[in-house]
């Protein structure tokens, strides 16, 4: 497994589709932010599905992938 953090900024008409897709695989942390453990195959599945949903001219998806959650330092304020 790999630890994945996905952050997205998409047009309003695509936000719900992206949210529903990511919620099937990851934990919802805040608006437009998901995280959790995935296999490489699941990561590829998500990336392919996102490519079908987004408009690359206006939408942005950031994927941060680490070998393990312990490689990330997370601080929460509020």
Q: Which residues of the chain have pLDDT under 70?
A: none
Residue 77 has a pLDDT of 77
75 SS3 class: coil
Residue 10 has a pLDDT of 97
Distance CA 64, CA 59 (A): 17
Q: What are the beta bridge partners of residue 2?
A: 38
Q: What is the pTM of this model?
A: 0.90
Residue 72 has a pLDDT of 78
Residue 6 has a pLDDT of 97
| Measured CA distances, 25 to 4, 28, 52, 64, 69 (Å) | 10, 10, 17, 15, 16
């Amino acid at each position: 497994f790999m630890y994945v953090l996905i952050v997205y900024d998409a047009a309003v008409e695509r936000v719900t589709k992206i949210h529903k897709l990511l919620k099937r695989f990851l934990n919802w942390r805040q608006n437009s932010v998901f995280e959790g453990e995935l296999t490489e195959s699941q990561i590829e599945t998500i990336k392919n599905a996102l490519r079908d949903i987004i408009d690359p001219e206006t939408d942005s998806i950031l994927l941060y992938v680490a070998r393990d959650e312990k490689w990330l330092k997370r601080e929460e304020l509020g």
